[in-house]
Structure 1
């Protein structure tokens, strides 16, 4: 694995300034860019360590605080180990924050994040990859659909609400996606029931999107997040293998 250099930075958007974390190989040579979307718990030490691991594999990884309109990270103060069962107020505080990020805002911000990577000497010219977790998987789909000329690969893990009945459901953007997709679903996930998984795959297939969708048996929603009660080491390592395989193949 490659030595990694990391820094905090700011990205100017149409609506303000987003704080962000950047990780890349320490030699400073340009590498393929990866836009990394957080889960609802936000940009925190665990997500930084995930970005570092991805950068060590040879990528320039940008992790924006997608809730920047509400403040710099941490937007919501959380314990070092996150267990909503032990503190039910966590989602009472997070719910309005997540709901504040509308599809229009996601698309607008994605343009700024992708432009930052396009302008950075640390990222190679050409398309990038996007990966995201929990709510971040929805942002992945919206970004891939809105910027098909910029996104060559898109991955999402334990995503929720990917194919709802809403007129703005993320899966409806499938016809605009040209990237290759990989989605690893949590097993028995209330935020992504079997009917949504079926609707999601059907939309991708009918749109001709190259994709792989897999359910990780026994893995709970949030299985990649080691600082939460949902963490599953075996499923997490499977996610890393799948993600790196997708990036190595497409970038």
Structure 2
């Protein structure tokens, strides 16, 4: 069994987050789904961006740390969708006990001096992705490897940015099922 913290996208805690948590729980994992927007949701990417800007990046990170700090002693797997993936990455790289990092649809910048001890990282991303260009992903991959992470990247040609979200216009059922098959195996490998 693994203990997982799963962060929502800029759309907030929508059904896709609960469904993903249920998939993981069905495999015996304990899953926490912090609501960093405190109940607010966004219908569009633009609304999500506005909500993120209104709350502020630092406040979102503060909320995420507040939610996860009491759990971090247990060796968490950090996971997230898009914006939530960026938050998960920031927390995982700062947590020496992190057991893994599952990124769905997003990444975050990292400091040049970032270091981790062979942190397993799995990224699932559309190809092409309007928010994660090929140049960005190549540079991100190299920086993560240089930091000491064990990174695997799974590309989904023709899928939209939030392809695992059934409520998104980007939804791609085939790519979503493939993602979950691979991601659940990854989490199982990191379990006790």
Q: TM-score range by the shorter chain?
A: 0.7 to 0.9
Q: Where does residue 158 of structure 1 map in the other structure? A: 105
Structure 1 residue aligned with 2:130, among 190, 196, 215? 190
| 1:172 and 2:142 matched | no
**How far apart are 1:38 and its partner, in Å?**
0.5
The within-5 A match list for 1:90-239 is: 90-117=44-71, 126-149=74-97, 151-159=98-106, 162=107, 170-172=109-111, 175-178=114-117, 179-239=119-179
Which one has the bigger helix percentage?
Answer: 2
Equivalent pairs counted in the alignment come to 190
| Residues 59-112 of structure 1: CA deviation (Å, up to 9, x unaligned) | 1111111122xxxx1x1464xxxxxxxxxxx34432221224545334433332
Cα distance per residue 1:33-78 (max 9 Å; x no partner): 110010111112232122111111111111111122xxxx1x1464
Supply the distance in 2 between the matched residues of 1:232 and 1:225 (Cα, whole angstroms).
Answer: 8
Taking the aligned partners of 1:227 and 1:103, their CA distance within structure 2 comes to 25
Q: Does structure 2 conserve the Cα–Cα contact (< 8 Å) formed by 1:148 and 1:176?
A: no
Structure number with greater CO (CA < 8 Å, separation at least 6) is 2
Structure 2 unmatched ranges of 5 or more: none
Q: How big is the shift at 1:229? A: 1.3
> Which has the larger share of strand?
1
Whether 2:18 is the aligned partner of 1:48: answer yes
- CA deviation after TM superposition for structure 1 residue 183, in Å: 0.5
Question: Which protein has the larger Cα radius of gyration, Structure 1 or Structure 2?
Answer: 1
Match of 1:16 in 2: none
Alignment correspondent of 2:37: 67
Conserved? CA contact 1:186–1:215, under 8 Å = yes
Give distance in 2, aligned partners of 1:212 and 1:107: 25
Aligned to 1:28: none
